[in-house]
Amino acid sequence: MGPAPWPPPAVVANGKDSAAYVAAAGLPYNEEMLQVHYHAHLDVVIDGKPAQVPPYLGFVVKGQKVAGLAPLHTHDSSGIIHIENSVPAKFLLGQFFIEWGVRLSPTCVGGYCADATHDFAVFVNGIKYAGDPNQIVLTKHEEIAIEYGGKGTLPKPPSTYTFTNGL
């Protein structure tokens, strides 16, 4: 995997394979469903610099048209993950990364992995997460920060994000 930034599959595959990424994450796609609607926020920081969470993740493009949205998607580069579904369900950070096409493990994001000279950490609401980050359940107004950098140089993670419109 190349260095950040990582574009969404709909852009990389020119729409031809974006549905495969959504399917690999175990997610359906359809028209936007707003019966269940909330947001989480994701920051990815590489060597002290923000890596963009791109717009249009979870968008399935066929030809030149949007054929549907996955329950996990982005509309812009703010890092806000939209969780929208017809019924309540449990959605995981790992599903979001699968549909993005970016590796996430307990020691890596993309091609950036902890080693003798680099730290890797995941934080949820400012608290270091000790388990597999793929298993983080996305909840309303959750702030997730993924950080990679030189030993002892990781910045202080954000503990909150200011969401607008109560979502």
Length of the chain: 167
pLDDT tens-digit readout, 74-99: 999 999 999 999 899 999 999 999 99
In this predicted structure, the answer to whether residue 67 has a pLDDT above a threshold of 90 is: no
Question: How many Å apart are CA 7 and CA 59, to the nearest integer?
Answer: 12
Residue 5 binned pLDDT confidence (cut-offs 50, 70, 90): confident
All structural domains of the chain, each given as residue ranges with its CATH number in brackets, are 9-150 (2.170.130.30)
pTM to 2 decimal places: 0.93
Question: How many Å apart are CA 113 and CA 111, to the nearest integer?
Answer: 6
